[in-house]
A and B are shown apart, each in its own frame.
Chain A
Amino acid sequence: MSTSMTVDVPAVEVHGVTRIFAARKGQGVTALDDVSLTVAPGEFVSLIGPSGCGKSTLLRLVADLDVPTSGSIEVFGKPARQARIDQDYGIAFQQAGLLPWRTVAGNIELPLELHGVGKTARRARAAELIALVGLADFASHYPDQLSGGMQQRVAIARSLAESPSLLLMDEPFGALDEMTRERMQNELVRICAETQAAVVFVTHSIPEAVFLSNRVVVMSPRPGRIRSIVSVGLGEMSGRGEYLREDEGFFHALSHVRELLHGDEGTAAPAGARGVETR
């Protein structure tokens, strides 16, 4: 799919988007206020910020799971709604959201099955993806027989099933422990290098955002705005490995993002800023 795209069509183009959630009384909540963002094809962009900054809302708008109050969103040059109908993106949520009555293979085949892919092609694709996420021995297991990390790997495999050129991930590792999390991050880097897909990745972990991304979008809450965009510049996806976590550039980018996140309240009360999530 991505090969047919010309380089100048961005994977995601968010322009002046505002989302206001209506309240029963009073003014309503402005989750996003005039947000603009462009994601290039094959680029990995993380959205980071404290809770309430609208990062998940922004992702849901790109996925057309929700509609902006004003502004426009284009995915590969099409309106978000059309992109959803054309299945231009794959999506993974914080909860794996697997169907408990289907096996690992059955869950990965689900989108293919719903979109009318034949049985043999489905089988082959599922086997390929199961190998990609390293679950070859678990293809016929049911989700409740798997650990949280394994379930999340199945969910990621499922999001890749139709070889999307854009992956939308809403804190997919948010519920995992630190060790599993780092291993999953390494795997995601490898998978991204192999699939060449653009990724929009919501997280509240600074190291995670910095390790994975080409660019980190730092957002601020109430109303949700983009405070700053940091180009991490840690090199190509394919070159990223475990060693990167010890790299000087990594630490430099880490503290830069942290400073931005803590923003003005950081300078006003440096002691209080320590309490912000730094997982």
Chain B
Amino acid sequence: MRTSQPGLAQTVLAPIVFGVAVILLWQGLVTGLAIKAFILPAPFAIGAEFAANLQNVANGMAVTGRNSLIGLVVGALLGIALAIVSALARLFDEMAAPVVAALSVVPIVALAPVLYTMFGAGAETARQLVAALAVFVPVYFNTLKGLRQVRPVHRDLMRAYAVTSWQATRAVTLPTALPFVFTGLRIASSLAVISALIAEYFGGPVGGLGKSITSAASSSNYGLAWAYVLGSIILGLAFYCAALIVEKLVTRNHTQHQ
């Protein structure tokens, strides 16, 4: 059905060439204009710091990654479960709507300091909760929307087959909702990393990427701070790509043509 597939050269080579060009231009500007490291360090310096502190960056990624993953799983399960309840029970949906709307406008990381006092500054729980809350909102909304996409012809068909509502849910409602659930998860995957990382700025134990960035920057080690930033970009991308791959695998044939 697709008109034309762009070739390998276009999809792989072009971004690489562009990326290399940007890095070279950046390096050239920093050295050429003698920009100070605290304003913008040169990419090669960041690279060197990254390589020299690989173990520390990897440790930071592990800590923040673990918090993000726990938050993602908990938030997603909660979002999907509550969306199913909302789809089944109109009353619950109406009760939950204002609460979820309120949740979606709260800058959730703003809850971090409050949560630290609730769970103690020595535990990672507050960060995981912040990530879970950030994940919950898009997963809930997208799943609920997906659960309401059943086409009338499919509903008629299920009634004609005289199946139980659970059978109809499994045969039609859930598969129809699946692409929407994954859209939510894809958005949520990067939100989980961002929220877990930013939550570190407000306190809690050291070791994560967020804390490492602030401590490196406050000790004027700008190259190292940027190396941790690079680490968080890689972590965010890893989460996003993992979600994307799972989505592509699961929803290969879910396109609703006709």
Whose C-beta in chain B lies nearest to the C-beta of A144?
B257
- Asked if A7 is at the interface of the complex by the 8 Å CB criterion, the answer is no
- Asked if A261 is at the interface of the complex by the 8 Å CB criterion, the answer is no
Contacts of A110 in B (CB 8 A): 171
Contacts of A60 in B (CB 8 A): 156
Q: A85-B162, A99-B172 are in contact. Are A91 and B254 (CB under 8 A)?
A: no
Whether the Cβ atoms of A111 and B1 lie closer than 8 Å is no
A145 CA to B253 CA, complexed, in Å: 10
A100 CA to B157 CA, complexed, in Å: 14
A100 is contacted by which of B1, B153, B161, B256 (Cβ under 8 Å)?
B256
Whether the Cβ atoms of A144 and B1 lie closer than 8 Å is yes
Whether the Cβ atoms of B163 and A100 lie closer than 8 Å is no
A93 CA to B156 CA, complexed, in Å: 9
Whether the Cβ atoms of A65 and B160 lie closer than 8 Å is yes
Whose C-beta in chain B lies nearest to the C-beta of A98?
B258
Q: A96-B258, A151-B258 are in contact. Are A65 and B156 (CB under 8 A)?
A: yes
Whether the Cβ atoms of B153 and A111 lie closer than 8 Å is no
Contacts of A100 in B (CB 8 A): 253-257
User: Most chain-B CB neighbours within 10 Å: which of A65, A99, A102, A111?
Assistant: A99
- Asked if B175 is at the interface of the complex by the 8 Å CB criterion, the answer is yes
B175 is contacted by which of A64, A85, A99, A111 (Cβ under 8 Å)?
A99
Q: What sequence of 0s and 1s flags, for each residue 33-67 of chain A, a beta carbon within 8 Å of any chain B beta carbon?
A: 00000000000000000000000000010011100
A65 is contacted by which of B151, B159, B171, B175 (Cβ under 8 Å)?
B159
- Asked if A115 is at the interface of the complex by the 8 Å CB criterion, the answer is yes
Interface size of A as a range: 20 to 34
- Asked if A97 is at the interface of the complex by the 8 Å CB criterion, the answer is yes
Whether the Cβ atoms of A87 and B256 lie closer than 8 Å is no
Whose C-beta in chain B lies nearest to the C-beta of A82?
B162
Q: What sequence of 0s and 1s flags, for each residue 59-83 of chain A, a beta carbon within 8 Å of any chain B beta carbon?
A: 0100111000000000000000000
- Asked if B145 is at the interface of the complex by the 8 Å CB criterion, the answer is no
Interface size of B as a range: 20 to 34
Least Cβ–Cβ distance between A140 and chain B, in angstroms: 11
B161 is contacted by which of A93, A95, A111, A151 (Cβ under 8 Å)?
A111
Whose C-beta in chain B lies nearest to the C-beta of A170?
B156
Whose C-beta in chain B lies nearest to the C-beta of A94?
B153
Contacts of B257 in A (CB 8 A): 100, 143-144
- Asked if B154 is at the interface of the complex by the 8 Å CB criterion, the answer is yes
Contacts of A148 in B (CB 8 A): 258
Whether the Cβ atoms of B255 and A144 lie closer than 8 Å is yes
- Asked if B165 is at the interface of the complex by the 8 Å CB criterion, the answer is no
A91 CA to B160 CA, complexed, in Å: 8
Least Cβ–Cβ distance between A156 and chain B, in angstroms: 13
- Asked if B53 is at the interface of the complex by the 8 Å CB criterion, the answer is no
Whether the Cβ atoms of A95 and B258 lie closer than 8 Å is yes
Contacts of A115 in B (CB 8 A): 161, 163
Contacts of A99 in B (CB 8 A): 154, 171-172, 175
- Asked if B167 is at the interface of the complex by the 8 Å CB criterion, the answer is yes
Q: Which of A80-118 contact B (CB under 8 A)?
A: 84-85, 87, 89, 91, 93, 95-97, 99-102, 110-111, 114-115
Contacts of A142 in B (CB 8 A): 253
Whether the Cβ atoms of A114 and B153 lie closer than 8 Å is no
16 interchain pairs (CB within 8 A)? A63-B160, A84-B159, A87-B161, A87-B162, A91-B156, A97-B151, A99-B171, A99-B172, A100-B253, A101-B175, A102-B253, A114-B163, A115-B161, A115-B163, A142-B253, A143-B258
Chain B interface residues (CB < 8 Å from chain A): 1, 151, 153-154, 156-157, 159-163, 167, 171-172, 175, 178, 253-258
**Given A142-B253, A145-B1, 14 other A-B residues pairs in contact with their CB atoms under 8 A:** A60-B156, A65-B160, A84-B162, A87-B162, A91-B160, A95-B151, A95-B153, A100-B254, A100-B257, A101-B178, A111-B161, A114-B171, A115-B163, A143-B257
6 closest residue pairs by CB, A with B: A97-B153, A144-B257, A85-B162, A95-B153, A142-B253, A101-B253
